[in-house]
Chains A and B, each alone.
Chain A
Amino acid sequence: MSSDKLNLTLRVWRQSGPEDHGGFQTYKLSGVSTHMSFLEMLDVLNEKLIAEGEEPVAFDHDCREGICGMCSLMINGQAHGPDRGTTTCQLHMRRFTDGQTITIEPWRAVPFPVVRDLVVNRSAFDRVIQSGGYVSVNTGNAPDGNCIPVPSSTQETAMDAAACIGCGACVAACKNASAMLFVSAKVSQLATLPQGKAERSQRVVNMVAAMDREGFGSCTNTSECEAACPAEVSVSHIARLNREYSKAILFSDT
């Protein structure tokens, strides 16, 4: 670290609304502390824009600790920026160099329409979950938590998949805008655990159909999603989805 202050050129996608065509705006920002998070850098930019009478850049964020999945951003062509296993809110400016130009774009996929600037609508993910991403158990119906033993390795595999934060980086990073990593994470979690097995066939068939309905692309096993995933969900879950799907269409009664 040569200096702890950066001078940056930001190329930010600005789009006034869903109907607007949008385009890049370039802003100069000086004296950016390397200790700032990326979103704090955008906060500083916005304060500057407001002071100059301009409208601030809209971007999604909430918990700023890497778990809510609200923040997004394609930073220099990489979902959530250059670090692996990291959300944009956990990315710090020390990863950038003085004088650098940073291009910031929204997630781009037809099922994620841009609402404004860098904000997109990810309701498609909710609709995919609605199609079967749950265990059908009403409140009060549950037997004792210990009545079905779950080997800790099984539980760990399920937890690896369940760690998905639903941010959409997999879709954003995929050259086909495929949602397979997201969908497979839920299918895999629930197919692995005994509690989810009763509905496994129906679930995978319905969720894949819902995914297609939303207009996501197909999976070409490029694994770019895995590299972009801040929760480091593995493509092995996509393989499990594929197995579940084949089993469901070949052998299941549903």
Chain B
Amino acid sequence: MNALLRLLSIPALIMSRLPGLAPVIRALSTSVGQKLLMAVSGLSLVGFLVVHLAGNLQLFAGEDVFNAYAEKLHSLGPILGIAETGLFAMFALHIGLALSTASMNRLARRTAYDVRESKQGLSVLPSGGASSWMMVTGCVIFVFLTSHILDMKLKMGPGVDYTAALDAAGEATNSFAAVKAVLSHPPHAALYLAGLFALGIHLSHGISSALQTLGLNHRNWNWLFRTAGVVTAWTIAVGFMSVVFWALNQS
């Protein structure tokens, strides 16, 4: 187990040996540096989610509007490619850092306590609230995302009937129909809801945590940061969930 954890921190070690950028990379590969990158990548991904949600909500405006939006996106060509690459890089960075810091954290305590009790009083989730569930919710989100890419981008969702989304040549051109096909498939709907629920929990700690990591903390405004974090988190999660429920309802 420990050997595996050590292996995971190797990329950071290698990066820190690079010439030129070495001082910056070294500074960013410390525990605090990694958390800073984690916060920046996490918040960027939140930014993406907001744009993504705005796009998705156009489903409610009907097939034509949504397909026009999808068409517009696809017509961006190379820009879309760059954006997607950036997005994947952010995900990869976020996940890589999560594994690296988690391995550091595991190495810092080899013997577990026999009894643990939070001193922060009751939280909705056991063992210290959302912050204790970042790894678990992160993994659920990862599974959901993998499926999401298979389903939507590659149109390879197992058990999904894509016929309504295909044109005469067999090309998937009707995005509206594709979304409906995936989300109205009950196992997929269940997975998506689970993933989005995990996302809500993940972000309800993640957003305010990222703000704290970036140094945003002032006793006059902490209530705002914390509330904004939770509200944004569940707005995003519930927003996406509404699409799933809409699709289930349509079928």
Contact = CB atoms under 8 A, between A and B. Distances in A.
The answer to whether A and B touch in the complex, with CB atoms under 8 Å apart, is: yes
Interface of A: 11, 24, 74, 76-79, 82, 84, 103, 105, 108-111, 173, 175-178, 180, 205, 208-209, 211-212, 215-224, 227-228, 235-236, 238-243, 245-246, 248-249
B119 A227 contact: yes
A110 B115 CA distance: 18
B242 to A, nearest CB: 29
Given A24-B114, A109-B109, 19 more contacts: A78-B119, A82-B119, A103-B115, A208-B31, A217-B104, A217-B109, A218-B35, A218-B104, A220-B101, A220-B134, A221-B131, A222-B131, A222-B132, A223-B120, A224-B120, A238-B217, A239-B217, A242-B36, A245-B36
Contact of B214 (A180, A212, A215, A242): A242
Contacts, number: 140
Contacts of A243: 214-215
A211 to B, nearest CB: 7
A221 B108 contact: no
Contacts of A248: 27
Contacts of B120: 223-224, 227
**Interface size range on B against A:** 35 or more
Contacts of A220: 101, 105, 131, 134, 209
5 tightest A-B CB contacts, nearest first = A239-B217, A243-B215, A217-B108, A77-B117, A176-B105
14 contacts: A77-B117, A103-B115, A108-B112, A109-B108, A110-B107, A216-B31, A221-B208, A221-B212, A221-B213, A224-B118, A227-B119, A241-B32, A242-B213, A242-B215
Contact of B31 (A74, A218, A224): A218
* Most chain A CB within a 10 A radius of its CB, from B101, B113, B132, B218: B113
B119 A79 contact: yes
Contacts of A109: 108-109
A75 to B, nearest CB: 9
A77 B31 contact: no
Interface string B199-215: 00000010011001111
A76 B213 CA distance: 30
A177 B108 contact: yes
B217 A235 contact: yes
A235 B213 CA distance: 11
Given A110-B108, A176-B105, A246 B34 contact: no
Given A221-B213, A239-B212, A77 B115 contact: yes
Interface string B161-195: 00000000000000000000000000000000000
Interface-centre pick from B105, B119, B205 (highest chain A CB count, 10 A): B119
A246 B36 contact: yes
Contacts of A219: 31-32, 35, 213
A145 B116 CA distance: 47
B219 interface: yes
B35 A111 contact: no
A186 B104 CA distance: 23
B28 interface: yes
B157 interface: no
A248 B117 CA distance: 37
B32 A105 contact: no
B33 interface: yes
B119 A228 contact: yes
Contacts of B134: 220
A217 B31 contact: yes
Given A109-B108, A109-B109, A217-B105, A246 B128 contact: no
Contacts of B216: 239
